[in-house]
Amino acid sequence: MKDKGVRPDLITYNILIGALCREGESRKAVKLLNEMLEMGLNPSHLTYNTLIDGFCGEGNLATALNTRTRMEREGKRANIVTYNVLIKGLCQKGKMEEANGLLNEMLEKGLVPNRITYDVIRDEMVERGKPREGLIPERFCMHSNFMVIDLISSGKTDRIFRGSFTVRFHLSLSFVSILSFLLTFCL
């Protein structure tokens, strides 16, 4: 591309980095990141989050976390996507405590969980992990309407829990009584 006089831009690099990461070549993608910086281009959140996701997908969590550190050092604050990717990657490797730590950190920084966050919590922390006392932080309760509704609508009411208080419901409980109970304990 460069040899034909065409200068790649941020979008071009993001596409190439994404392709390399999908192919399990995240280390090669970092070389493109460095090349971008040498050309004076500023990587976006998408650039860094793609790399972080690539490293998580390869099971290279240390490099994923280091990439987040680098991202922040270079002036890009980790966003909700960054945290979602890292939490999911940690859960998939069975590192529930570390995932919970990142969830706490995310909430402490004032980032509001989105639908993806709830899906990660439901699919990775609740389904895959073995819920135990204190896994999901208490303050997550105030943000957990989507998760609660998801769990109830999918018939997984026995999986709803809060902080150090595990809640087991019987499927015969009505939706209203479950929500009333949760509102009592989450507020």
- The DSSP letter of residue 161 is E
Domain annotation covers residue 39: yes
Is the predicted pLDDT of residue 175 greater than 70, yes or no? no
| CA dist., res. 100 & res. 140, Å (int) | 11
CATH number at residue 25: 1.25.40.10
Q: Report the C-alpha dihedral over residues 158, 161, 165, 166, rounded to 10 degrees.
A: 20
Q: What is the pLDDT of residues 162-174, one digit of tens each?
A: 433 333 333 333 4
pTM of structure: 0.71
Q: How confident is the model at residue 148 (pLDDT cuts 50, 70, 90)?
A: low
Return the pLDDT at 79: 96
**128 within some domain:** yes
For residue 153, being part of any structural domain is answered with no
Is the residue at 136 inside a domain?
Answer: yes
In contact, 50 and 28? CB cutoff 8 Å: no
Secondary structure letter of residue 135 according to DSSP: S
| All residues at 6 or more sequence positions from 83 whose CB lies less than 8 Å from its CB, including other chains | 102, 103, 105, 106, 111, 117
> What is the DSSP code string of 24-93?
T-HHHHHHHHHHHHHTTPPP-HHHHHHHHHHHHHTT-HHHHHHHHHHHHHTT----HHHHHHHHHHHHHT
Q: Which residue, among 57, 3, 72, 71, has the nearest Cα to 27 in the 3D structure? A: 57
Q: Is residue 85 part of a domain?
A: yes
- Contact (Cβ atoms closer than 8 angstroms) between residue 147 and residue 125: no
Q: Distance between CA atoms of 145 and 182, rounded to whole angstroms?
A: 10
Residue 179 domain-assigned (yes or no): no
What is the number of domains present in the chain? 1
How large a percentage of the chain has pLDDT more than 90? 44
Over residues 85-108, mean pLDDT: 89
> Quick check: is 168 in a domain?
no
Total residues found in the chain within this entry:
187
For residue 174, is it left (φ>0), alpha (ψ between -120 and 50) or beta? beta
Q: What is the pLDDT of residue 38?
A: 94
Pick the range with the lowest mean pLDDT from 8-12, 86-90, 115-119, 177-181: 177-181
Statement: residue 186 has pLDDT above 90? no
Asked if residue 135 belongs to a domain, the reply is yes
> 109 lies in which domain range?
2-145
**Average pLDDT score, the chain:** 77
For residue 77, the model assigns a pLDDT of 95
State pLDDT tens for residues 39-78. Answer: 999 999 999 999 999 999 999 999 999 999 999 999 999 9
